[in-house]
Amino acid sequence: MKVLLVDDHPIYLEGLRNWLTVHGYEVIGMAGDGLTALAYARSGQPDLVLVDLDTPGYNGLEVSRLLKAEFAHVAIVILAVSFDRSIVEAALRCGASDCLPKNIQPEILLHILSHIEGRLRAA
């Protein structure tokens, strides 16, 4: 599965990229802001976008809305430091497949991504 990562913290991006690669995901790009994320999505056609809620330029909600308008098939997971029901509801309204806390346990994230991958294959 082709994955695009979007976060304004380079060390977080690099760690997530390494972890995903070890688990068999193809990271096609890493963007530090929403505008760059849209450009990467247009050129790389990701299956999944993991985007920080507080990304500069376009935030995670805006990136989700714009990506879903252009690429209906793409799965989007918003990762948020500040995490509550209102953020999850807003993420889902913008077209995200899920909204998760950034401090999620790696094995739980892997399980969720596996489930999303299965849904994408079935579609």
For the stretch 72-116, pLDDT in tens is 999 999 999 987 899 999 999 999 999 999 999 999 999 999 999
pLDDT of 15: 96
pLDDT of 84: 86
pLDDT band at 118 (very low <50, low <70, confident <90, very high): very high
Distances in Å between the Cα of 73 and the Cα atoms of 15, 76, 92 are 26, 10, 15
Domain count of the fold of the chain: 1
Q: Is 72 exposed, middle or buried, given 0-12, 13-18 or 19+ CB atoms closer than 10 A? A: exposed
Q: Any idea what the CATH number is for the domain that residue 94 is in?
A: 3.40.50.2300
What is the average pLDDT across 48-57?
A: 95
Q: Give the whole-angstrom CA distance, residue 65 versus residue 61.
A: 6
Provide the token pair at 70: 């252009």
Q: What is the pTM of this model?
A: 0.95
- Backbone torsions φ then ψ of 8, nearest 5 degrees: -95, 10
Q: Which domain holds residue 41?
A: 2-122
